[in-house]
Amino acid sequence: MRSMTGVSGLVLALTMMAGTPMAQAKDAPLDAMTPDKVASYDWVRPEADYVRQEVMIPMRDGVKLHTFIVYRKGVTDAPIILSRTPYDADASTSRNRSQKIEELLPIVDTPFVNDGYIRVYQDVRGLHGSEGDYVMTRPLRGPLNPTAVDHSTDAYDTIDWLVKNLKNSNGKVGITGSSYLGFTSLMALIDPHPALKAAIPQSPMVDGWMGDDWFHNGAFRAFGYNYVLGQTVKKGGKGGLPTGKEDEYDTYLAAGSAGDLARKWGVDQLPGVRKMLEHPAYDQFWQEQALDKLLAKRPLTVPTMLVVGEWDQEDSWGTPAVYRALSADPAKRANVSIVVGPWRHSGVNYEGSSLGNLKFEGDTALQWRLNYMKPFFDCHLKTNPAPCHTPRVITYATGTNRWEEADDLSPSTTPLYLGGHGEASFDKPVGEGVESYVSDPAKPVPSVPRPVSLGGDEWKTWLVQDQRFTDGRTDVLSFKTGVLSAPVHIRGAPKVDLRAATSGKDSDYVVKLIDVYPGQNTANPVMAGYELGVGIEIFRGRYVHGYATPAPLVPGKTYAFQWLLPTVDHVFLPGHRIMVQVQSSLFPVYDRNPQSWVPSIMDAKAEDYVKATETIHWGGKDASAVWLPVVK
């Protein structure tokens, strides 16, 4: 194990360059042709208040993983927090190259390293300084992975090395991280090392088809190509598709299908892209990787706090899916809890007083880190800790802006019915009828006001975008309640039950649950009349028969399309209205449905994209509704 503190790396590098003029005494004058390039520079100075160690930890197959260990000087009996990342462990432990530990590490680490914790970041195999082959989401060893190693074994071997070699630790390890790091945190729970005592997976990638990064209920997110480029291409992959600064609505529309887009920009042969294109349905490739299913089959011996943002624009599915899978088993229920905060994807690790135009009561992310994350790790990782008290459900109620604790999420038991003339009501409509619109793939409904950019701040906040930009379009139906006289509080995942028919042979359906603010708001004018998306999600019609068995829809036949909206805690306040919008595209976040039948939408041709009339039923035996998890 090599320490990067102590002797100056610059002096060491200079004095060891034998065979060059630099082998002479360091104070001797240099001539003009003395080579200027040196081997290294140790930017961690002797006055640093921390130790930063860089090591290569051996795995069971001989591959060594690049790892950085950081702790405040003088700590003993220290718990360890581990994160396994594809985003460069070196960069994660060298913020500003500061000589102060709280400035060196991400802000989420400050309370821990200031309280005697050891912080460890590791590059996953095949990336940055780690040896081995990189598989973007390496499956668990088994049907899809015939090797003896995966993220579970790598976590085990890493923890084993840490507790045996860090003599200033107390031998207890926690694991955490967001997104990909949430995925590796969950993988560590499969056959865990005995020293792993607690886990906080944040916004983990759990099921890339059902509702995390790549697909949502079968609808494809072609901008994922940008991620694959950045993660898997050694040279030329940074920055995503080379589309310039065009409106991405135009760029994606002109390309055609998702397959055409990949071919146009030359990414169709990247393994990560090919795997998506070759598996458009929920086949074994996706099912065998779904972590909620894998975890459900195993004991849960490690206390686990699952975290997600209410407006997570990337991995909204995973946290609730794992919570449902684990809490359904009484033997595992005591070891799992869930947190839903008012954040974007990974927003829990940053400043959390606002999101887009929404303002909260203080820094909600810091509040969670101090009031829940730190106590959770303390009670499981410290030597002789205070007893643990972890609420099963910890949520932030947007609308009233307060933290809440509960025994469970509320079941979806209260239907909000769609009705005629654009009405929505908690009372089932008298009579029955239909509302229709024409969906034209040549003019898909944009996901945000144009011009569209799927990167930067717009991407982080698109789910809280004011939805008035689509309200009133002829291809969007809006159903709205009267003005509320009492608050309506929901906590959980609303369930869509949409009874619909199409004149085509396939169709997408998008449902948005919206909080409509009063038209006048002198206290906060920017929110006057605002239409806030509380939950937005899509369903690809061909999978109404089963996610693994796509089939054509019968034109004119009414189907029950049912799916979940993201898990939330939200209060619709008196004076507000509740709106449900229905449409058949959300572009370019999701690829277009051609609305004719093609075996794979990935390869749809221009002539396959046709207009279709979409008919939404209300009342009677085919009453469309959104079932709300109302808190009683």
What are the structural domains of the chain?
7-37 (no CATH), 50-210+285-406 (3.40.50.1820), 219-279 (1.10.3020.10), 414-628 (2.60.120.260)
pLDDT tens-digit profile of 584-597? 999 999 999 999 99
Mean pLDDT of 5-28: 44
Nearest to 532 by CA among 545, 518, 548, 515: 515
pLDDT in the model for residue 482? 98
pLDDT in the model for residue 328? 94
pLDDT over 70 (residue 26)? no
Mean pLDDT of 571-581: 98
pLDDT over 70 (residue 35)? yes
Q: For the chain, report the end-to-end CA distance as a whole number of angstroms.
A: 57
- Give pTM, 2 decimals: 0.94
Kindly indicate the confidence band of residue 8, based on its pLDDT and cuts at 50, 70 and 90: very low
Q: What share of the chain is helix, strand, coil (3-state, %, to 5)?
A: 25, 25, 50
Pairing of strands 495-502, 559-564: antiparallel
pLDDT in the model for residue 22? 41
The DSSP call for residue 270 is: S
pLDDT in the model for residue 104? 97
Mean pLDDT of 201-215: 97
pLDDT over 50 (residue 23)? no
pLDDT tens-digit profile of 140-182? 999 999 999 999 999 999 999 999 999 999 999 999 999 999 9
pLDDT in the model for residue 607? 98
pLDDT over 90 (residue 80)? yes
Alpha helix ranges (H) inside 353-468: 364-368, 374-381, 456-461
Residue 402: strand pairing partners:
397
Least confident segment among 244-253, 265-274, 280-289, 586-595: 244-253
Q: Is pLDDT larger for residue 24 or for residue 618?
A: 618
pLDDT over 80 (residue 10)? no
pLDDT in the model for residue 6? 38
pLDDT tens-digit profile of 541-555? 999 999 999 999 999
pLDDT in the model for residue 523? 86
Cβ-based neighbour number of residue 76 at 10 Å = 10
Nearest to 348 by CA among 302, 388, 312, 386: 312
Q: Please, how many CA atoms are within 13 Å of residue 205, restricted to the half-sphere of its CB?
A: 18
pLDDT in the model for residue 471? 84
SS3 for 424?
A: strand
CB-based burial of residue 434 (10 Å sphere; 0-12 exposed, 13-18 middle, 19+ buried)?
middle
Q: How many residues does the chain have?
A: 632
pLDDT over 50 (residue 540)? yes
Cβ-based neighbour number of residue 600 at 10 Å = 15
pLDDT over 60 (residue 213)? yes
Mean pLDDT of 52-80: 98
Quick check: 111 and 370 in contact, CB under 8 A? yes
Kindly indicate the confidence band of residue 20, based on its pLDDT and cuts at 50, 70 and 90: very low
